[in-house]
Amino acid sequence: MRGPYRDLVAPVLFRLDPETAHDAVLAGARVASAGLRLGAALGLPPSKRILPGRPPLHRLGRSFTNRLGLAAGLDKNGVAPHFWAALGFGFAEIGTVTWEPQRGNERPRIFRLPEEGALINRMGFPGQGAEAVARRLERTLRTPPGIPIAINVGASRSVVGDAVAETRDQARTARLLGRHADFIVVNVSSPNTPGLRDQQVPERIARLVEGVGSALAGLGLGLTTPEVLVKLSPDLDDTALCAVARAARGAGAAGFVAVNTTLARDGLRSAARGEPGGLSGRPLQGRAREVIVLLRATLGPEPVLIGLGGVHDGRSARGLLDAGADLIEVFTGLIYEGPAFARRLVREIGAAGWPGQGEVEGR
């Protein structure tokens, strides 16, 4: 769909290196978020984030005004939670946050594939570290953004490959950030930190989920203790995927984010298709739906499933919801479609009938 962003803003941003453009947008989002916090402190009413007549959805012990969330990766250090709420998202996932501050991989590390509506990134978890993010959220979330905030945590590069150290590292991050999170997503599926995906075997994922869950339980938050979800790779075969999901569920995971970026490159035409890293965007749509269907059939109705991959319009969003997702997230679609994307997507989903409409109790 054409509009001011596609016609005027995107051509300017897309002349910039992708990471430079990302940093510029995030700087603006941070300023806007600060303004929104100030407005809330002065008693200005927040923008409406729920369609008239639509009841909130209750999942993970939280209320969601709509099913659309911002995926991890855009706001790695939690600088703009109030801005994502103002754009119309029903929740936002920040991170991936690691215990140690990290530079990530060398630049350039983000590549556009405009012919496919896709991106390749090999960021490698750059970020300011858990302590810096916790200090920021302690300050900014004193004014609630009005939507659930998830925090995505991952293993520091220095501990990857040591199963015991990985668990200790991520549990420590979750414990520090848990007071600021509505739920925690454990990222074991990024392809951009060597060895990270080796955590996706049943015994290691069970140990990790138990460790993170115990760390959160130790905060003494009672019924408001954040639930633990696991973010899965689309590149696992179906047998391995089911085994990992069952192990995580048995260890206490409340659900899954499906899916992370892929190493597959089938059918791509854009010049950057050969760059190493994880592919996101429209090419993931089919596999994301397959994984949601598989997880729902394997695990039943109870676990919360967040669908992610290839959402670029109402039809693709509804495809994940119809497949069995409770919630959906977007990342690459927002890059290509711009700041009006979230509200438009929520309207398009609602126009066809809200899946689960009227359901206000449950997972």
Q: How far apart are CA 36 and CA 31, in angstroms?
A: 9
Q: What would the 3-class secondary structure string for 193-242 be?
A: CCCHHHHCCHHHHHHHHHHHHHHHHCCCCHHHCCEEEEEECCCCCHHHHH
Beta strand extents in the chain (DSSP E only): 57-59, 62-64, 68-70, 91-97, 110-113, 118-121, 149-153, 183-187, 227-232, 255-258, 278-281, 304-308, 327-330
Distance, CA of 62 to chain centre = 16
3 state SS of 182: coil
Residue 44 is which amino acid?
L
46: which DSSP letter? P
Determine the Cα angle at 297 with ends 294 and 303, to 5°.
95
Respond yes or no: is residue 190 known to be catalytic: yes
Report CA-CA distances (Å) from 195 to 130, 158, 159, 237: 21, 11, 10, 18
Q: How far apart are CA 256 and CA 249, in angstroms?
A: 9
Q: How far apart are CA 126 and CA 50, in angstroms?
A: 33
Contacts of 353 (CB under 8 A, 6+ apart): none
> Which structure tokens are listed for 213?
């869950």
Q: How far apart are CA 186 and CA 151, in angstroms?
A: 9
> N- to C-terminal Cα distance for the chain?
35
Q: Which of 156, 189, 190, 316 is catalytic?
A: 190
So which residues are the catalytic ones?
A: 190
